[in-house]
Structure formats: C-alpha cells, structure tokens
C-alpha cells in the first residue's frame, strides 16, 4: 500500500497526471494511517510517506551546512553576460569547450534537503550560507516534496532547491488576510519565507507551497558502487559519474523531484539569450514568481576548475530581469513648459536601469508633489515605471542625506521666454456634481444619492503658468500633443523640431501642406522617409470629433471629456457656438472645465488655427452618440494585464455596452477591473472603496 500511495502521490504532485480521483487517494491514505495505528511495527513506514503536522516548535534549531549554500553573481544585460564568459574562459584550458545549462530562477526561499537511504531526514534554510535553521517539519508539509525517494537511491544525498508559493495561492492568502484584517504579504517570496518559518507546521500546510529542485550538493552511493566525493557526485550505476549539471536534473527527476518546467542545454550564449527571451515572454502569466534565469557551465569538471570566489561560484550566474523599482540620486530639478503653458518640474538623476530601459529623468508633476515627497536636489530616491511606461519618483530616502541637499523653488520667470510666471489655483470637476445635488428629477428628491458623495471630492490644486500666450514652448509642446493624439507616429518630437528649424512648418496645421520634395532633400531623411511621413499624415486627415477636440490641447480636456463633448454636441460647429451654460449642463463636466472649453473657442488665435486645418483639407467626422447598454451610467478603470483580451479590447467592450472608461481611479469610478500584476490603481481603489472586479467577474458581466 505504501508503494501504491507513493506512486499516486508522485503522479499527482510531480507528473501532474493523477490516475485516481482525490476521493480514492484520500481513502487509501486513511486506510494506511489506520494500519499504522493498529500495527506499531509498521508505524515508521507509514510516517515515511504520510504528512501529518507535528507538535508546534518552541524555536528553530541552528544547523551547519556541510557544503556551503552559495549565492550567485547577478547579470543584467547581454554585455555583462558576454563579459562573464570572457572572464571564465581565461581561467580554462585553451581546448575547453563551453556549453551552458539555463533554468528558471524561482523567486522563493532556497532550502537544503538531506536524505539517508532514500528517507527525508532533515531540511534547512540557507541562512548565511554556512548555518541555517532546521525547518524539517514544515518542509514535510509541501506535497510535491518527496519524503521517500524512488529507488534505486543512494545512501546519502543533499538536494538543493527553492520553496515557492504560486501566484494563485498568494492571491487567495492575501484576500483571506484582508477579510480578517491581517497584514498583507508584499510578494510570493515573502509569503513563502513566512510560511516556512511558522513554528506550527499546520499553518505551513495550509499555505500549499511547492518545491523545485535545482542541484545535488553531495551524494554517497553504497560502497559497492564505487568511491564518491562532494565535488564529483557519482551516478546511479557502479563506477559511473555525473558529467554535467543537466545530468543532475535528470537524476533528480528519477528520484521523484520536480525540477523547473523551463530549462535548456545551450551550446553558446546566443542560445542562452534565446532562452532568456523565451522566459521573458512567459513570465507575466507563469504560475510562479520568477525574477531571472540561472546560467551554469554545464560540464562539472569545468565547474571544478573554475571554483568559487568569495561566496559565489565562478561557473554560475543569475541573469536578472530589469527591476520594477530602483534607487538613484537626483542631480537637479529642471522646469519644462507644457503645451498649455504650465510649468512642470522634472527630476534629472543618474541613468538607472528600471523595467528594461535606462531612466535619467522623471516628472515631479507639480509643487504639491515636491512638497509631499519633500524631495531635494541631491536626494537618494526610489523610482519606478508606472504601468511599465512612465518613470516616476515614488519615495525619498531622507536617512541617506548628507546635508548638502538643496530645496527647490519655482522660478518667477518662464525659463523659455522670460515672461512672468503666474500662480493659479483650480478646483476639481467634482464641483459641478455638487451643484446637481440640489436639482430635482421628479419634484420629490435629489437626482441621485451619488451626487451627495461627490461633495467630498472637492479640492484645490496649485499650478504655475507662463503668462505669455505666444511662448515658443507652448507651440512646440502643442504640436507634439497634436500629432500624438492623431496617431501620426512617423512624426515624432525630433522630426517636428527639424521641420520647424528648417522653416517648413510654424504649427501643426502646416504638416498637411508638406510635399515629398520638402522632406526628401533634408539630411538623414531621403525619399523613403518622406514617403512614410507623408503617408502617415495623409491617412489622418479624417479625424473623429472626440480625437480632434482632444488634439487641440484645451486646458483640462482629456480623452474622456473630449468624448463627452463629441457625444453631446455631435459636430465641431455646435461646440464652437455653444454657450458656457451649455457646457455646464454636461454630466461630469464641472465649472472649471466648462470655463476652459468656452474660453478656448472665444480666442481668435485658436479659431484661426482650426480654420487653417480645414483649409489644408483636414476633415472632422461627426460625433457618435454613446451606445446604450447594460453599462450605461457606469464608469470603469482597468489595471494590470488581462489574459483573455487586451486592455484596448476590454475598453471597447465597455464602450459598446454604454459604459465609460477612465484612466485614473476616483470616487466617480464604479468598477476597477483588475488583471495580473496590477499597478497603484488597485491600492487607490481600495482606499476609496471602489468595487474591484477580477477578470473572471468582468467577463461574466459582459
């Protein structure tokens, strides 16, 4: 029966190929326990495969590692990978031929397992590499960790591997902690480590951890199988020996261990890089957290030649995928003048690798943000890429200050044109909703209870503007905004600057008058570049009304507000001739936004620009009325990666059902759709009490 249950457990937890139902498996296990209780002489055999939590411990006992548990040197780029190969090649014989073994680097807790005569007898944490903690009872609670090895097994073996928690279990655990008002785990690694350091192994069992083996530190076969050593572990047959690191993985699987799902023998670094690229693609949806790839010299003899330096082996390295966050030093704070004339502070810092690209600057948004962060020139800060796109400063580390840091002060003169800088205070658009609270829909009560809640969202923000309406910076930023919103991607900022410098254009409307000969003759352009640019411009001469309004760069008018205006008025002419009161009647548009839109169309220079666009054969399509559907009256925001569709497709589905889609979470948001690896929007939704939807719940609503 023990052999039968061991085989069933191996198939279920290791091969993921159960041959019987859970009910039969549980029934056999109960029968085995009964057999052990009735026949004490079989108790040791029963305990060797049964996982029953023992008595809670008072503390963990320190244990020494016979073979030190080493750490790995990190590599962050292809260049560093090439440098590593050059270094180790110099230490090897000229005739040595390198090949590599690449495998997933799981983001969990490294542990050591000791087996004697096939029986699991002790497990320990890495600790400082030389001394760890005995967590044997907790490791026994990991279902896919074999308590008894499959024969033939050695007299003694030490296996190294990673204890991990799956993303699905992590999510369930954090939801449970949230319901019970307990502390949330930051990531799967912290959750796995915390689970294995429970004094009560029953708690560990409830966490449903997994184990992935990646190395054999030491192995001793019976005497008749020949001598052995720690550095050259013997194979399973007399006189044979393990030749490569990949041989170790094969032997581990034969003993009943799970090794990484993704691994490869690579003949050179080109194949290693392909493997790294493959893992990069699967990482977001992979069930377990992984922060890189471990690359080993595959031949064990060459590993012995290379040896260890300090606490890291020369023959092995960890390629780490770009970090989501990093620290850097703020060198200075500059001012950019935006398309509306707003002065935006920009932090400039030492070039730093974050999420796949080198970052050297990030917006600080406004003085409110600078004061909130208390950021100073010379500060050490934490930066990240919001949504893997926009760099931002998220934290200042004041304890790193030296006393030489300088506070930032907003300039009194525009850094571009020298005009006076104006300080303006604006309200949020929630003010409009508070006015509607007094109106009656049927003569008996307020139009909506939600309107009362909007009163709490009123706030003031301070911004600084260049007072010169003809500031060159306004014109430049305005053109960039215009071509971006129209999706004329062939015309980037540098192309616009070049066209302006050459006198080909004075504003975005002039783009629609360009000819091939105007562009092809410019240095570094040529006929092909000219054709691509002109084709892109030509294909965007017909513009949806909402996109046209958005592209004009009206203060306070983003994508959603532009869509609201297009749906309400239906044509440019009606928007142009609308009164301030008409703009104020639109839901979700407050008095500040209404004033900005109305005043924009009262300014002669803005109307002249629009007329010039029309003269240059730009055509604006009529606005479509918002579709009516099950989502009418509801506002959505989407965060994270959806597995069943792109975010754009999800947005389209919401709009087709009459809903609204915002870019930021506010109290006006009804639902936050949460995909994998959500950003800061999830925390904001939780803070504001906005209802969150999993992807499965969202799909049901569709």
In this structure, what token pair is assigned to residue 16? 């993921």
Q: What percent of the chain has pLDDT over 70?
A: 81
Q: What confidence score (pLDDT) does residue 525 get?
A: 81
> Where do the H-state alpha helices sit in 228-298?
245-255, 269-282
For residue 195, is pLDDT > 70?
yes
Cα Rg of the chain, angstroms: 32
SS (H, E, C) 449-478: HHHHHHHHHCCEEEEEEECCCCCHHHHHHH
Helix (H, G, I), strand (E, B) or coil at 584: helix
**DSSP-assigned beta bridge partners for residue 271:** none
Instruction: Of 303-312, 375-384, 458-467, 643-652, give the lowest mean pLDDT range.
Output: 458-467
Task: Give the pair of three-digit tokens for residue 142.
Answer: 């990991």
pLDDT tens track for 97-108: 999 999 999 989
Q: What is the pLDDT of residue 36?
A: 58
Q: Which residues contact 164 (CB under 8 A, 6 or more apart)?
A: 106, 107, 108, 109, 188, 189, 192, 209, 210, 211, 212, 288, 289
Q: How far apart are CA 323 and CA 76, in angstroms?
A: 9
Q: What are the structure tokens assigned to 364, written together?
A: 């600080």
Strand order in the sheet with 156-164: 119-125, 109-116, 156-164, 210-220
Contact between 638 and 685 (Cβ < 8 Å): no
- At 667, list the tokens: 């109290």
Structure tokens at 424: 């303006």
Report whether 658 contacts 629 (CB < 8 A).
Answer: yes
Per-residue pLDDT of 603-619, as tens digits, reads: 888 898 899 999 999 99
Provide the 8-state DSSP code for 679: -
Residues 280-296 have pLDDT tens digits of 989 888 999 888 999 99
pLDDT in the model for residue 44: 52
Q: Tell me the pLDDT of the chain averaged across its residues.
A: 81
What distances in angstroms separate CA 659 from CA 202, 351, 636, 691, one per listed residue? 47, 42, 7, 15
Please give the pLDDT value at position 77: 87
What does the pLDDT average to over 184-201? 83
Nearest to 483 by CA among 554, 531, 552, 545: 552
- C-alpha span between 255 and 260 (Å, rounded): 15
Query: Which among 151, 117, 126, 109 has a CA at the least distance from the CA of 44?
Result: 117
Average pLDDT, stretch 202-218? 94
Over residues 517-547, the pLDDT tens digits come to 778 767 678 778 888 999 999 999 999 999 9
pLDDT of residue 2: 59
| 556-589 pLDDT tens trace | 898 888 988 998 899 999 999 999 989 888 877 8
Residues 450, 457: contact at Cβ < 8 Å? no
CB within 8 A of 550, min separation 6: which ones? 485, 557, 558, 559, 562
pLDDT above 90 coverage of the chain, percent: 42
Residue 188 has pLDDT above 90, yes or no: no
pLDDT of residue 576: 93
Query: Is residue 105 flagged as an active site residue?
Result: yes
| Choice among 214-228, 280-294, 482-496, 563-577 with the minimum mean pLDDT | 214-228
pTM of the complete model:
0.47
Listing DSSP states for 112-176 in one string gives EEEEETTEEEEEEE-TTSSEEEB-HHHHTT-TTS-SBPPSS--SEEEEEEEEE-BHHHHHHHHHH
Domains and CATH numbers, the chain: 2-50 (1.10.287), 64-320 (3.30.470.30), 325-400 (2.40.50.140), 421-466 (no CATH), 472-620 (1.10.150.20), 635-701 (3.40.50.10190)
Mean pLDDT of the 244-273 span = 95
Active-site entry in 86, 97, 105, 320: 105
* Phi and psi at residue 420, to the nearest 5°: -65, 140
Dihedral of CA atoms 507, 510, 512, 517 in degrees, nearest 10, equals: -130
List alpha helices for 570-658, DSSP H: 572-577, 580-584, 591-600, 604-615, 647-656
| Distance, CA of 546 to CA of 567 (rounded, Å) | 8
pLDDT over 60 at 458, yes or no: no
Intra-chain end-to-end CA distance of the chain, in Å: 50
When pLDDT is averaged across residues 629-651 and rounded to a whole number, the result is: 87
Residue 513 in this model has a pLDDT that exceeds 80: yes
- What is the SS3 assignment for 230? coil
| 145 compared with 447, residue with greater pLDDT | 145
| pLDDT band (50, 70, 90) for residue 88 | very high
Q: Per the structure block, which two tokens stand in for 673?
A: 């759709």
């Amino acid at each position: 029966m023990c052999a039968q249950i061991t085989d069933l457990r191996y198939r279920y937890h290791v091969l993921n190929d159960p041959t019987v139902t859970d009910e039969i498996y549980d029934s056999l296990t109960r029968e085995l326990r009964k057999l052990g209780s009735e026949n004490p002489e079989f108790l040791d055999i029963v305990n060797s495969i049964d996982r029953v939590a023992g008595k809670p411990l008072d503390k963990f006992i320190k244990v020494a590692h016979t073979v030190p548990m080493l750490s790995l040197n990190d590599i962050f780029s292809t260049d560093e990978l090439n440098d590593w190969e050059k270094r180790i090649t110099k230490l090897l014989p000229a005739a040595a031929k390198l090949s590599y073994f690449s495998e997933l680097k799981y983001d969990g807790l490294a542990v050591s397992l000791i087996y004697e005569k096939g029986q699991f007898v002790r497990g320990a944490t890495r600790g400082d590499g030389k001394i760890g903690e005995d967590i044997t009872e907790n490791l026994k609670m990991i279902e896919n960790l074999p308590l008894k090895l499959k024969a033939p097994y050695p007299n003694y073996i030490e296996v190294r591997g990673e204890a991990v928690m799956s993303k699905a279990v992590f999510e369930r655990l954090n939801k449970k902690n949230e319901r019970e008002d307990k502390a949330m785990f930051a990531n799967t690694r912290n959750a796995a480590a915390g689970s294995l350091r429970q004094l009560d192994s029953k708690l560990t069992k409830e966490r449903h951890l997994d184990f992935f083996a990646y190395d054999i530190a030491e192995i001793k076969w019976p005497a008749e199988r020949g001598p052995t050593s720690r550095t050259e572990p013997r194979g399973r047959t007399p006189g044979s020996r393990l030749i490569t690191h990949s041989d170790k993985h094969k032997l581990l699987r034969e003993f009943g261990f799970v090794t990484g799902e993704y691994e490869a023998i690579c003949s050179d670094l080109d194949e290693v890089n392909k493997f790294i690229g493959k893992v990069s693609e699967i990482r977001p949806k992979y069930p377990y957290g992984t922060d890189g790839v471990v690359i080993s010299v595959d031949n064990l003899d060459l590993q012995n030649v290379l040896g260890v330096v300090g606490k890291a082996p020369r023959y092995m390295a960890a390629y780490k995928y770009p970090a989501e966050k990093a620290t850097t030093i703020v060198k200075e704070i500059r001012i950019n003048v935006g398309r509306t004339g707003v002065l935006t502070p920009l932090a400039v810092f030492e070039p730093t690798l974050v999420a796949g690209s080198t970052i050297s600057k990030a917006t600080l948004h406004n003085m409110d943000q600078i004061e909130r962060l208390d950021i100073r020139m010379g500060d050490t800060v934490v930066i990240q890429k919001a949504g893997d796109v926009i760099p931002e400063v998220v934290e200042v580390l004041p304890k790193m200050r030296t006393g030489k840091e300088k506070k930032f002060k907003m300039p009194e003169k525009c850094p571009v044109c020298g005009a006076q800088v104006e300080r303006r205070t604006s309200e949020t658009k929630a003010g409009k909703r508070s006015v509607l609270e007094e109106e009656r829909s049927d003569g008996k009560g307020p139009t909506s209870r939600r309107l009362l809640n909007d009163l709490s969202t009123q706030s003031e923000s301070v911004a600084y503007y260049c007072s010169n309406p003809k500031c060159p910076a306004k014109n430049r930023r305005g053109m960039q905004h215009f071509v971006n919103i129209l999706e004329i991607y062939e015309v980037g900022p540098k192309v616009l600057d070049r066209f302006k410098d050459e006198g080909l254009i004075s504003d975005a409307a002039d783009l629609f008058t360009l000819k091939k000969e105007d562009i092809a003759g410019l240095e570094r352009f040529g006929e092909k570049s000219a054709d691509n640019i002109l084709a892109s411009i030509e294909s965007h001469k017909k513009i949806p009304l909402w996109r046209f309004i958005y592209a004009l760069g009206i203060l306070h008018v983003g994508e959603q507000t532009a869509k609201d205006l297009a749906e309400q008025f239906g044509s440019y002419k009606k928007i142009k001739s609308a009164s301030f009161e008409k703009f104020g009647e639109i839901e979700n548009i407050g008095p500040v936004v209404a004033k900005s839109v109305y005043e924009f169309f009262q300014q002669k220079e803005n109307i002249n620009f629009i007329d010039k666009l029309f003269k240059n054969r730009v055509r604006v399509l009529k606005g479509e009325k918002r579709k009516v559907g099950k989502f009418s009256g509801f506002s959505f925001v989407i965060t994270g990666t959806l597995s069943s569709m792109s975010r754009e497709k999800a947005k389209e589905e919401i709009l087709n059902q009459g809903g609204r889609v915002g870019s930021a979470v506010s109290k006006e948001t009804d639902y936050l759709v949460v995909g994998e690896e959500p950003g800061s929007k999830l925390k904001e939704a939780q803070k504001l009490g906005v209802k969150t939807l999993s992807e499965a719940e969202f799909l049901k609503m569709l």
